[in-house]
Amino acid sequence: MSIQAMTFVQVAKAVGLTREQLYITLRANGIIESVGFERVYQRRDGAIQSYMSERYDGEFIINSACGKRDQKNRIVPDQMLDSRVIIVLKALPQIG
């Protein structure tokens, strides 16, 4: 099976969960773990917006080459999931 980067929302829809339910399930089963928060900035409609972004680590996390900028103007990569996580999630008793 080939690897495809998917957003958390795409994976959630594929397994029939909401995004929040997906986060809870991934954490509870040790598939991802939170490694902290980072303030990121983006330009939208000509204005700069900032928000806190939770960062994750795990076997199925893909850090994209694109992303938002942090306060030191470094790029904070967008995080996506490897599509193979769907097979793992569907094998869980609470989902499958």
Query: In sequence order, what are the residues at sequence separation of 6 or more whose Cβ sits closer than 8 angstroms to the Cβ of residue 29?
Result: 92
pLDDT digits (tens, 9 = 90+) for 43-95: 888 888 888 989 999 999 999 877 788 777 888 888 999 999 999 999 998 88
**Does the residue 74 lie in any domain?**
yes
Q: Is residue 56 part of a domain?
A: yes
Q: How far apart are CA 28 and CA 13, in angstroms?
A: 19
pLDDT for the residue numbered 68: 80
Q: Which domain holds residue 54?
A: 5-90
Domain contains 96: no
Give residues with Cβ within 8 angstroms of 67, minimum separation 6: 40, 75, 76, 77, 78
Q: Is residue 58 part of a domain?
A: yes
Q: Does residue 95 fall inside a structural domain?
A: no
CA angle, 68 then 73 then 66, to 5°:
30
Q: What are phi and psi of 50, to 5 degrees?
A: -130, 150
Q: Tell me how many domains the chain contains.
A: 1
Domain assignment of residue 22, yes or no: yes
Q: Is the pLDDT of residue 1 over 80?
A: no
Residue 67 lies in a domain: yes
Q: Tell me how far apart the alpha carbons of residues 39 and 51 are, in angstroms, rounded to a whole number.
A: 6
